[in-house]
Amino acid sequence: MSYTINRTTRFLFPITGTIMAVVLSMSSAASASKPASTATSEARVAVEDLVSPTQVVTLGTGTPNIIQGRAGTATAVIVNHDEVYLFDAGAGFMETLAEFQDEDKRGIFPVSPSYPTFMYPTFLDKLFLTHLDSDHILGIPELLLRGWVLERNQPVSVWGPEGTQTVVDGVVEAYQPDIQHRLDSLPIGQEAPYTGIVEEFGSEPGVVYQDRYVTVTAFNVNHGTWEAGEAFGYRIEAPDKTIVISGDTRPTPNLIEHAQGADILLHEVMSQTGLEGLPQKWQGYMKEAHTTTGQLADIARQIDPELLVMIHPLFLGASENTLVDEMAQAYDGKFELADDGDVFD
Ligand SMILES: [Zn+2]
């Protein structure tokens, strides 16, 4: 499915200018070990120069629970049919790309000139992690290694909390037999492109990435026992719209602050009905970690996005219809429950 929001003039988050200046001043001192494209001083592309609106694709909408048709959580932001920014890499999310070989969706992602009728995801080279829970990172081996086999010719730049380097290094170490076999046998060569180049955030990340299309700001959210600097939401400011991704979080004032002016708010959610049916020990955990439909309605009213997209839905035994009905009763604004492969612009 594809959804289009009605555009109105939105104001941009006011701190961006000052933090951007700091990042730009730091860029000349950036070390070679940092992702190559961080903090560039390239001129920004103006909205009138875009060939297409910025699009959001939910490649995976799953959770730790096993639900047919919902791959592990992963969200792609595509700007100008050119650059793709991936947020989280859950289990099996790359399978969803197969839909984008079909006639009606082909061309949403950049197409490889060498293989126009096949999905060669060479464009997946920038990954931003919200946190290091496994349902958000199980797809990292797939991204690094499958992408490399499918002719990505540069490493993946990975941004995330402390511990991200350990995860990426561990993947490369664990898959050494596979890597060596492919180096020995496949017509692809090049040692470096299966790796990730990592930049870890501190406890107050602010603007973490900037290029000619986007400014990406990471901000702390409250997800269970993860502390400041360990669980993030992201604000992505593209020329034509602002997108906010919550990560996993219980209601968090910091998210409401950083999401002001968002056109599309992608927020995690859990069913109130499902929650009430859980054993008490699980109810306590869930309330510390996640956001109910009623709580999300309250959050969305304080942000007033053009479109609220519910991602990472925890049904907890309730049906999809029940979750949607809960939200419809609590929230008057425009919202959708994302499925894998949905496109929002
Ligand atoms: Zn999760």
Centroid of ligand 1 to alpha carbon of 64 (angstroms): 7
pLDDT value, residue 165: 98
Instruction: Please write the tens of the pLDDT for every residue from 199-252.
Output: 999 999 999 999 999 999 999 999 999 999 999 999 999 999 999 999 999 999
pLDDT value, residue 1: 59
Centroid of ligand 1 to alpha carbon of 273 (angstroms): 19
Centroid of ligand 1 to alpha carbon of 312 (angstroms): 7
Centroid of ligand 1 to alpha carbon of 91 (angstroms): 11
Centroid of ligand 1 to alpha carbon of 134 (angstroms): 8
Centroid of ligand 1 to alpha carbon of 131 (angstroms): 9
Centroid of ligand 1 to alpha carbon of 125 (angstroms): 22
If you ran DSSP here, which 8-state letter would residue 67 be given?
A: -
Centroid of ligand 1 to alpha carbon of 199 (angstroms): 21
CATH code, residues 2-27+46-344: 3.60.15.10
- Encode 22-37: b = buried (16+ Cβ within 10 Å), e = exposed: ebeeeeeeeeeeebeb
Q: What is the mean pLDDT of residues 167-195?
A: 90
> Which residues lie across from 28 on neighbouring strands?
none
Centroid of ligand 1 to alpha carbon of 105 (angstroms): 27
Centroid of ligand 1 to alpha carbon of 232 (angstroms): 12
CA dihedral 320, 321, 324, 328 (to 10 degrees): -170
Centroid of ligand 1 to alpha carbon of 61 (angstroms): 10
Instruction: Give the pLDDT band of residue 112 (cuts 50, 70, 90).
Output: confident
Centroid of ligand 1 to alpha carbon of 71 (angstroms): 12
Q: Which residue has the higher pLDDT, 35 or 137?
A: 137
Tokens coding 219: 């901000």
Centroid of ligand 1 to alpha carbon of 248 (angstroms): 6
Centroid of ligand 1 to alpha carbon of 21 (angstroms): 33
Instruction: Give the pLDDT band of residue 43 (cuts 50, 70, 90).
Output: confident
Q: Which residue has the higher pLDDT, 344 or 185?
A: 344
Rounded to whole angstroms, how far apart are CA atoms 169 and 174?
9
Centroid of ligand 1 to alpha carbon of 310 (angstroms): 13
Q: What is the mean pLDDT of residues 320-336?
A: 98
Rounded to whole angstroms, how far apart are CA atoms 198 and 86?
14
The share of the chain scoring above pLDDT 70, in percent, equals 87
Decide: helix, strand or coil at residue 111.
coil
Centroid of ligand 1 to alpha carbon of 181 (angstroms): 33
E strand residue ranges, the chain:
2-3, 55-60, 74-79, 83-87, 126-128, 156-160, 196-200, 206-210, 215-220, 232-237, 242-245, 264-270, 307-314, 335-337, 342-344
- The two most distant CA atoms of the chain are separated, in Å, by 59
Centroid of ligand 1 to alpha carbon of 136 (angstroms): 6
Centroid of ligand 1 to alpha carbon of 89 (angstroms): 11
| pTM for the structure as a whole | 0.89
Sequence-distant (6+) residues with CB within 8 A of 180 are none
Centroid of ligand 1 to alpha carbon of 47 (angstroms): 33
Measured over the CA atoms of residue 148, residue 150, residue 156 and residue 159, the dihedral's sign is negative
Sequence-distant (6+) residues with CB within 8 A of 139 are 60, 71, 72, 74, 89, 90, 91, 92, 93, 94
Centroid of ligand 1 to alpha carbon of 48 (angstroms): 37
Centroid of ligand 1 to alpha carbon of 19 (angstroms): 29
- Residue 339 pLDDT > 60: yes
Centroid of ligand 1 to alpha carbon of 120 (angstroms): 27
Centroid of ligand 1 to alpha carbon of 135 (angstroms): 5
Instruction: Please write the tens of the pLDDT for every residue from 273-304.
Output: 999 999 999 999 999 999 999 999 999 999 99
Q: Which residue has the higher pLDDT, 305 or 7?
A: 305
Q: Does residue 135 contact residue 166 with C-beta atoms inside 8 Å?
A: no
Instruction: Please write the tens of the pLDDT for every residue from 12-27.
Output: 333 333 333 333 333 3
Cβ count within 10 A of residue 279: 7
Centroid of ligand 1 to alpha carbon of 198 (angstroms): 21
